[in-house]
């Protein structure tokens, strides 16, 4: 069974995140959606809230495991016997950042591959940061 990890802060989850998760699930038998606990960030939503939002947003997608994690992603993937990380990229800035992280992860765990999925055109302009701003000012998403 091929397992992939789809990591992120998901603060909050967006339609773009759900699209990447759905597409990853079509490629892999099992997808672990790993919600990052990052002590250097001050999330708008608690870990439990982010996991709950993800579960609601992805309830129609079978074969998912939604969990929180902290530590190094490469170590987490190794613990879960996953050899693929799936990340979405919206633009060249995302691509550059994700490529750097992929190289670091592969340096830690040489068998770990990163699959970068380009965002669909209708989702590439929308980020979690934008969603937080819309929520803060009471605007519809």
| Active-site annotation, residues | 17, 41, 90, 128
DSSP-derived secondary structure letter, 111: T
Contacts of 46 (CB under 8 A, 6+ apart): none
Chain centroid offset of residue 89 CA:
10
Between CA 63 and CA 41 the distance in angstroms is: 29
């Amino acid at each position: 069974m091929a397992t992939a990890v789809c990591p992120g802060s998901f603060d909050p989850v967006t339609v773009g995140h759900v699209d990447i998760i759905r597409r990853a699930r079509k490629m892999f038998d099992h997808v672990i959606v790993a919600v990052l606990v990052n002590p250097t960030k001050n999330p708008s939503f608690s870990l439990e809230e982010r996991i709950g939002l993800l579960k609601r947003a992805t309830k129609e997608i079978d074969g998912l495991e939604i969990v929180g994690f902290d530590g190094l992603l490469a170590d987490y993937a190794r613990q879960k016997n996953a050899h693929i990380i799936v990340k979405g990229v919206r633009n060249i800035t995302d691509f550059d950042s994700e490529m750097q992280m992929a190289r670091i992860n592969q340096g830690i765990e040489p068998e770990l591959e990163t699959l970068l999925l380009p965002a669909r055109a209708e989702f590439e302009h929308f980020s979690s940061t934008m969603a937080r701003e819309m929520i803060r000012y009471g605007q519809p998403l």
